[in-house]
Structure 1
Amino acid sequence: MSRPAPKTLRKDVIHNRAALLDAARAVFADHGLDAPLDLIAEKAGVGRGTLYRHFADRTELALAVLEADVADLGRRTADQGEAPETFFWFLDRLAEDMIRNAGLAGLVRNVRSPDALTPLRQSLMEAGAAPLARAQAAGLVRKDLRPMDIRLIATLLGAGFQGADEAERQAVSQRTRALLMDGLRPRPEAS
């Protein structure tokens, strides 16, 4: 499914959106998902109307934060180069993002329209597809993994965070990564 070509936006519109995303990321991290949206607008240096021109509601704003983070992860992953080990770097950064955005996961689970998650899922698969293919070609991970499996990996990396404090999220993430790495190893061919 291709996305329509983006419209040319004024610099202030682009700046305001970026400021709102940065503010939302910080406010949600500091105050939780129930933080007043007015606080986000204030931190971004814009009015409430500007916030609502960009995002219809809290869920749309949370999804936009996650989409921006996945797009950033994709850029950072591409910057790592062509080494087959980049897939593991990608998974570690994804796990860190999952820890940082743990509070947003609950909101995403409650998204009513499955189509609303399509861009986020697609971006995640695109970010990891090339590193996955290189790791497979080098024999570092099992051959039967597909880019769609990156969604499953992300789900596993974000599991177990509900109600957990920072230290517990770190511990759960480390254990999940250890189990995942074992499951990603190539399997001996059946004889």
Structure 2
Amino acid sequence: MPEQGKSVPGERKPNLGPSAGPSNRKALIAAAREIFAEQGFDAPLNAIVKRAGVGQGSLYRHFPDRLELGLAVFDENLDALEGVAAEPDASLARLLDTIIDQALVSTGLIDLIWRHRRDERVEHIGARLRTVIVELLERDRAAGRIGGHVGAADVELAVTMLADVVARSDPAERQIVARRARNIFRAAFAPRPDQTAVKSVATRSSAPGTSA
């Protein structure tokens, strides 16, 4: 018997009218996150409705189609990334780790974004992520944690590749693949040896009257 005050997954909630709108929406997003992680983005929507404990009509009032529902879940992921960027000790390394954690349980959402990447409703995802990347890139450069050769476009590409390779790996190997990919990008983004001294020596060697 369930504890008093706690709902059971799939149990229909009492009809509270319009006042239930925000809580129903939240329940649908939470259920969609779980179902998409378990069954992929093509999971039946009625499974999400049942898990959320709401009526079918509530689903379509809040989310006219599958893409809108998936984007709502993905927006919560972006909220988390923006939360990481807001922390005083935030870094791109921490951002990539968070993205890996999300990718490991959100493979269906990554598939969603890829399928609908040309849909104008998806454009805001790239814009929000780009803002976070630029902010952390500037912070890492100032702290000397990342090489000057790395630009925002490089980090965006790394994020896309990282999420995609994790999503498309065998579930049993995703943790290992994610760690390997993460180490590759860490090495690629690391500050490179200072070339100032080398250039100085080369300049002196080529100066008139300088012997080899």
| TM-score (normalised: structure 2) | 0.74
Q: Counterpart in 1 of 2:123?
A: 118
Q: Counterpart in 1 of 2:24?
A: 16
Q: In the TM superposition, what is the alpha-carbon distance from 1:48 to its structure 2 partner?
A: 1.3
Specify the SS of the correspondent of 1:160: helix
Distance 1:143 1:43 in 2: 48
Change (3 A) 1:114 1:33: closer
The one of 5, 28, 43 aligned to 1:35: 43
Distance 1:188 1:42 in 2: 57
Give the letter aligned to residue 182 of structure 1: A
Higher normalized contact order (CA 8 Å, seq sep 6+, divided by chain length): 1
Q: In the TM superposition, what is the alpha-carbon distance from 1:141 to its structure 2 partner?
A: 0.4
Q: Counterpart in 2 of 1:170?
A: 175
Deviations 1:112-170, CA, capped at 9 Å, x for gaps: 63422211111212233322211111111022434444421211111324553333111
Distance 2:158 2:61 in 1: 34
Distance 1:123 1:11 in 2: 30
Q: In the TM superposition, what is the alpha-carbon distance from 1:102 to its structure 2 partner?
A: 1.5
Q: In the TM superposition, what is the alpha-carbon distance from 1:99 to its structure 2 partner?
A: 1.7
CA contact (8 A) 1:67 1:120 kept: yes
Give RMSD over aligned pairs. Answer: 2.2
Q: Counterpart in 2 of 1:130?
A: 135
Distance 2:168 2:138 in 1: 35
Distance 1:151 1:53 in 2: 34
Distance 2:25 2:125 in 1: 17
The one of 42, 59, 68 aligned to 2:67: 59
| TM-score (normalised: structure 1) | 0.82
Verify: 1:159 aligned to 2:164, yes or no.
yes
Change (3 A) 1:59 1:189: same
Moved over 6 A (4+): none
Q: Counterpart in 2 of 1:107?
A: 112
Distance 1:92 1:163 in 2: 18
Change (3 A) 1:162 1:73: closer
Change (3 A) 1:185 1:25: same
Runs of 5+ unmatched residues, structure 1: 1-9
CA contact (8 A) 1:124 1:150 kept: no
Greater mean alpha carbon deviation, residues 176-185 or residues 41-50:
41-50
Deviations 1:16-44, CA, capped at 9 Å, x for gaps: 22211111000111222222101111212
